[in-house]
Structure 1
């Protein structure tokens, strides 16, 4: 880990829930490709108990963890499973704008 943001709580975005969410941003160094990094992230999420994936289910629900790749060395990348940069986080979601203000 090269840099870590403050912790920020937020209301759910794009779905209804009575839960409050804890958000954090990191800058990391990795030798992994974007797809290999995504595979590692999905493995971590599964190990922590996440059972649904919004890309597969087509919508957001409560989850124990959600890790997103927001940027990857300013790469523009798009596949069925991954879009970099993560435009919703960079341009639309207020909690992300706050967390990323010192990163981007």
Structure 2
């Protein structure tokens, strides 16, 4: 199983997949039925990378509509830049699992608001260094494509820095919308990316 996080913070957890219907309330926060499992990738290679990831994680927790124990946080990995200019700083990457009743575009809007609030400009050049990436990987079994968003994420199964933390929170469970487990996807991965070391288990 995954590693419990947040030694002096919220008790973020690993290893349990989100459920689809929950009780009405928890800790004063409203819960809704018809919740969907959402996977969100976090990355940062500018400034205080760890603080950037923590800030994004905490903002996502405020959007989480499930029980606190179904908010899942992977370990952090330090990864070499992919498709970036020479000299680009290394990234810290992690994956968060949460539950949401939002539709795909509403959840995208929420993640982009987090990016802007944490200092990522709207006009950032592709593959330029950034304070934070907050990328929606999947939302339940939804298959959605328009000019702003495609889910499941079209490169989810091609990126080691996404799949490795995804294995930490899903293990042998099927990746929603893709019909393959995270573990099996890792065994089938054909990538030149170096295997990233774990940077931090508990954060």
Q: What range is the shorter-chain TM-score in? A: 0.7 to 0.9
- Per the TM alignment, residue 91 of structure 1 is displaced from its structure 2 partner at its CA by 1.4
Q: What CA RMSD, in Å, does the superposition of the two structures yield over aligned residues?
A: 1.6
Number of residue pairs aligned between Structure 1 and Structure 2: 100
The answer for unaligned runs of 5 or more in structure 2 is: 1-60, 62-70, 176-203
- Per the TM alignment, residue 18 of structure 1 is displaced from its structure 2 partner at its CA by 2.8
Query: Structure 1 CA distance, aligned partners of 2:88 and 2:128?
Result: 11
Query: Structure 1 CA distance, aligned partners of 2:81 and 2:123?
Result: 16
Aligned counterpart, 1:95: 161
- Per the TM alignment, residue 52 of structure 1 is displaced from its structure 2 partner at its CA by 3.8
Query: Structure 2 CA distance, aligned partners of 1:3 and 1:82?
Result: 23
Q: Which is bigger in relative contact order (C-alpha 8 A, separation at least 6)?
A: 2
- Per the TM alignment, residue 101 of structure 1 is displaced from its structure 2 partner at its CA by 1.7
Q: 1:19 aligns with which of 74, 89, 92?
A: 89
Aligned counterpart, 2:43: none
- Per the TM alignment, residue 48 of structure 1 is displaced from its structure 2 partner at its CA by 0.6
Q: TM-score, normalised by structure 1?
A: 0.86
Q: TM-score, normalised by structure 2?
A: 0.46
Aligned counterpart, 1:45: 115
* Deviation sequence 1:13-63 (CA, Å, 0-9, x none): 111243110111011111211101111111111111001456xx5x21111
Which is further off, 15-24 or 38-47? Answer: 15-24
Q: 1:79 aligns with which of 130, 146, 154?
A: 146
- Per the TM alignment, residue 64 of structure 1 is displaced from its structure 2 partner at its CA by 0.3
The structure with the largest strand share of the pair is 2
The answer for unaligned runs of 5 or more in structure 1 is: none
> After TM superposition, which residue ranges in structure 1, 4 or more long, deviate above 3 angstroms?
none
